Amino acid sequence: MGSTDATLVFARGPLFYTALMIFIVGMAYRLVSVLLLGWKRDRVPNKGSKLRGVAVTYAKGLLIFPFIPWVKKTFRGNQTTYLAGGMFHFGLFVVIFLGTAHMLVWKSLLGFGWPTLALPIVDFLSAAAIVAMIALFVNRLANPVLRLISGPSEWLNLLIVFLPMVTGYGLTHHRLLGIVALPYENLYIMHMMSINLMLIWIPFSRISHFMFYFFSRTYHGAQAGKRAVMP
Partner 1 sequence: MADETIYQYLQREGVSRRQFLKICGALAVTLGISEASPLLAAGLTRPTSPTRLVAEALASKPRVPVMWLNFQDCTGCTEALTRSLSPTLTDLVLNKITIDYHETLSAASGVQADENKRMMMETYAGQYLLVVEGSVPTGANGNYCTIGGRTAVDLLQEAAAGAAAVIATGNCAAFGGIPMAQPNPTGAVPAYQLITDKPVAHIPGCPAIPEAFTGTLVNFLVFGKLPELDDLNRPITFYGTTVHDRCLRRPFYEAGKFANSFDDEGARKGWCLYKLGCKGPTTYNACAGIKWGGGLSFPIQSGHPCLGCSEPNFWDNGGFYQGQSAPIGRPTLTAAGVALAAGAVIGVANAGVNRLQKRHADTDEETTESLSG
By rule CB under 8 A, what string of x and - marks binding of each residue 17-56 to partner 1? x--xx--xxxxxxxxxx-xxx-------------------
CB proximity list for 72: less than 8 A, separation 6 or greater: 65, 82
In angstroms, what is the C-alpha Rg of the chain?
A: 20
Residue 228 neighbours by CB distance under 10 Å: 12
User: Considering the rule CB under 8 A, would residue 2 count as an interface residue with partner 1?
Assistant: yes
Least distance to partner 1 from the beta carbon of 32, Å? 3
How far, in Å, CA of 126 to CA of 134, rounded? 13
How far, in Å, CA of 8 to CA of 171, rounded? 13
User: Considering the rule CB under 8 A, would residue 180 count as an interface residue with partner 1?
Assistant: no
Q: How far is CA 45 from CA 212, 222, 226, in A?
A: 26, 13, 8
By rule CB under 8 A, what string of x and - marks binding of each residue 110-149 to partner 1? -------xxxxxxx--------------------------
Nearer Cβ to partner 1, position 39 or 67? 39
Residues binding partner 1: what is the number (CB under 8 A)?
47
Least distance to partner 1 from the beta carbon of 99, Å? 9
Is 128 in contact with 94 (CB distance < 8 Å)?
Answer: no
Least distance to partner 1 from the beta carbon of 65, Å? 31
User: Considering the rule CB under 8 A, would residue 4 count as an interface residue with partner 1?
Assistant: yes
User: Considering the rule CB under 8 A, would residue 9 count as an interface residue with partner 1?
Assistant: yes
Least distance to partner 1 from the beta carbon of 41, Å? 16
Q: Among 83, 98, 154, 185, indicate the residue that binds partner 1 (CB under 8 A).
A: 185
How far, in Å, CA of 102 to CA of 116, rounded? 9
Nearer Cβ to partner 1, position 28 or 230? 28
Is 90 in contact with 125 (CB distance < 8 Å)?
Answer: yes
Residue 141 neighbours by CB distance under 10 Å: 11
**Helices in 143-208 by DSSP H: which ranges?**
144-148, 152-172, 184-201
Q: Which residues bind partner 1 (CB under 8 A)?
A: 1-6, 8-9, 12-13, 16-17, 20-21, 24-33, 35-37, 100-102, 104-105, 107-109, 117-123, 175, 183-185, 188
